[in-house]
Structure 1
Amino acid sequence: MLALSANGVLPKVDYAIFADTGWEPRTVYAHLDRLEREVAAPAGIPILRVSAGNIRNDALNPERRFASMPLYIRNPDGKEGMTRRQCTGEYKIKPIKKKVRELLEYPYPQRIPKDVFVEQWVGISTDEFHRAKDSDVKYMRNRHPLIDLDWSRADCVRYLTSLGLADTPKSSCLGCPFHGNAQWRHIRDTSAVEWRDVVEFDAAIRKGNARANAEGNMLLGEAYLHRSRIPLDQAPIDHVTAAEQAALQDELADEQDAELGVLNGCSPWACRGEVEAAQGDFGLAA
């Protein structure tokens, strides 16, 4: 959408906002710098970077309230589940709303008049039109330009390729539990530093969140980043089953996430990783 706006296909936007969780792959930060330098700045479009902190550091800090990631859990009785996903709301949606209020010159807790609002563009393509939703606040009105253009994901890829941006990386936390095996392999095989980072984090969250441990709360189960509920450096990320291969060919869509994970990355208003929590939080007393 930024490129479409910068090149006049869509109207020129006032701002582009990037919500930084503090734990994106280095390729994402490098690509963002390139977009700012080669696309946004020449078109006079400011890119505003907002943040609520570093999600990795916060998760391991007993002094911080941890906005739960959707971790895979194995309970003491052997039952498996996932923790609720709070990270998108805390580290993406909230800081964006805060910045929007500042741009409107009505910072919290000021009341925003009914006739004051922004038009917010959300990059959902026709492949996932069902995820196009209205904003939950009146001062932000959602619009979905890609759907208005009748563009699919493939159309977006073709357009980016035509601009020399075919290598656009997926934006999501380095240690997002919704990664598929292909993403975990990519981290392991292309960046030893980042692989060591996620393996260390996976081990650090095994016995509960930092605050719960510091307070001596009774554990409810073990937490993992990989869906197999096996330590990440031992998880079967090299194994591609027949069902997963078929998913790559769009023959078994229900099995696709096992290999590719969440295809569209982590979008503030369109995270595909929607799961029912098995319990409220990991590592807290029942």
Structure 2
Amino acid sequence: MINPSQAVPAPGPALRLLSLGAGVQSTTVLLLACEGEIPRFDVALFADTGWEPRAVYATLDRLTVHAEQHGIPVRRVSAGNIRADALDPKHRFVSMPLHTLNPDGTRGLARRQCTSEYKIIPLKKAARELLGYPHPRRVPCGVYAEQAIGISTDEIGRAKDSGLRFLRNVFPLLDLGFDRTRCMEFLAGRGFGQTVKSACVGCPFHGNTGWRWIRDHDPDGWAEAVEFDRAIRHGYPHATGRGQALRGRYFLHRSCVPLDQADLDGPAKGKRHLRLMAAESASDEDGDPDGCSPWSCRSGKPVTAAARLTGSEDRTA
């Protein structure tokens, strides 16, 4: 942590941070830093929603030990448990992009704020604290943290600016030319070949491959997802308890049928409505969620190659 009383900010970033999801790409970035292939991070931050697959938490535990042996502390930050909060009638409304079946038979997606609330806000808060300027203190001009994001070359369109003056996103895998396949090969060569994608167990953006993986490899997570799917059928308990039942019916699976009845092995049907938010191509039905990483959802501001080199993005405090 830097001294808040420092009068003249030093050139360059005051801190180097990694937004760690413990999935394939961000795990690769952390191991590259451990090996000295990219600059070492001062801290790796894992935004914990409380509902990741057991395999992700197992990878995170291994990474924590490995990284700290190389001088990189791994710190978990959290705004709460998204599953428990959504089912708690006393907790304020939790907005997840649930699939909706409207009374007239049309389909859509509920509003999505979970990425911001459970990932971006805790990470932003942690960055401020590590810089020495917790909210509501203003971070002085010129003081910023460099934050590495695990975006590979095959998903370059997801590279987004943070939108914050004190937090500058960088993308080491783009600079190194790593695609997802190369990341997986890199991990396999270092004993992390079983690393899985990081996404909430109950993420409505799961394709059939993701749901099958949870069903077949994380039975406790599958049981939780099935129960959650039933519990939110007519809205969140907080809303219904106040007489504000949501319009229509709500589902985790894109087919708008109960999760434990959904055909996870058959061909995709009726997914046109998902493109409102997921923007998936016809070949992505079986893909896992790709829009929930902090600052890399499709609605964010893209970072151009020139901006990555010059740091010229327009940032607000």
Please confirm whether the aligned pair reaches a TM-score higher than 0.5, indicating the same fold. yes
Please identify, of 126-135 and 253-262, the stretch whose mean Cα deviation from structure 2 is larger. 253-262
Q: Is the 8 A contact 2:144 2:165 kept in 1?
A: yes
Q: Kindly tell me: are residues 78 and 142 of structure 1, through their superposed partners in 2, closer, same or farther at Cα, counting changes over 3 Å?
A: same
Q: How many angstroms does 1:183 deviate by? A: 1.5
Q: TM-score by structure 2 length?
A: 0.79
Please identify, of 64-73 and 224-233, the stretch whose mean Cα deviation from structure 2 is larger. 64-73
Q: Does 1:19 align with 2:47?
A: yes
- Tell me the secondary structure at the aligned position of residue 238 of structure 2: helix
Q: Is the 8 A contact 2:197 2:288 kept in 1?
A: no
* 1:205 alignment counterpart: 232
Which residue of the other structure, out of 168, 185, 193, is the alignment partner of 2:195? 168
Q: Is the 8 A contact 2:93 2:239 kept in 1?
A: no
Distance in 2 (alpha carbons) for counterparts of 1:116 and 1:93: 19
> Following TM superposition, where does structure 1 have runs of at least 4 consecutive aligned residues deviating by more than 4 angstroms?
none
Distance in 1 (alpha carbons) for counterparts of 2:167 and 2:246: 40
Q: How many angstroms does 1:192 deviate by? A: 2.6
* 2:69 alignment counterpart: 42
Q: Kindly tell me: are residues 186 and 130 of structure 1, through their superposed partners in 2, closer, same or farther at Cα, counting changes over 3 Å?
A: closer
Q: Does 1:116 align with 2:130?
A: no
Distance in 1 (alpha carbons) for counterparts of 2:43 and 2:94: 27
Q: How many angstroms does 1:158 deviate by? A: 1.3
Q: TM-score by structure 1 length?
A: 0.87
Q: How many angstroms does 1:97 deviate by? A: 0.4
Which residue of the other structure, out of 48, 51, 58, is the alignment partner of 2:85? 58
Q: How many angstroms does 1:81 deviate by? A: 0.5
For these two proteins, the number of residue pairs brought into alignment is 263
Q: How many angstroms does 1:114 deviate by? A: 0.6
Q: How many angstroms does 1:204 deviate by? A: 0.2
Structure 1 unaligned segments of length 5 or more: list them: 243-252, 275-286
Q: Kindly tell me: are residues 219 and 86 of structure 1, through their superposed partners in 2, closer, same or farther at Cα, counting changes over 3 Å?
A: closer
Q: Does 1:225 align with 2:252?
A: yes
- Tell me the secondary structure at the aligned position of residue 281 of structure 2: helix
Q: Kindly tell me: are residues 261 and 255 of structure 1, through their superposed partners in 2, closer, same or farther at Cα, counting changes over 3 Å?
A: farther
Q: Kindly tell me: are residues 201 and 104 of structure 1, through their superposed partners in 2, closer, same or farther at Cα, counting changes over 3 Å?
A: same
Distance in 1 (alpha carbons) for counterparts of 2:243 and 2:200: 29
Deviations 1:115-164 (A, max 9, x none): 21101111111112222222211000111111111211111111111111
* 2:38 alignment counterpart: 10
AA at the equivalent of 1:41: E
Mapping of residues 87-102 of structure 1, within 5 Å? 87-102=114-129
Mapping of residues 155-194 of structure 1, within 5 Å? 155-194=182-221
Q: Is the 8 A contact 2:54 2:218 kept in 1?
A: no
Please identify, of 128-137 and 159-168, the stretch whose mean Cα deviation from structure 2 is larger. 128-137
- Tell me the secondary structure at the aligned position of residue 141 of structure 1: strand
Distance in 2 (alpha carbons) for counterparts of 1:188 and 1:129: 30
Q: Is the 8 A contact 1:266 1:272 kept in 2?
A: no
Q: Does 1:104 align with 2:131?
A: yes
Which residue of the other structure, out of 109, 134, 139, is the alignment partner of 2:161? 134
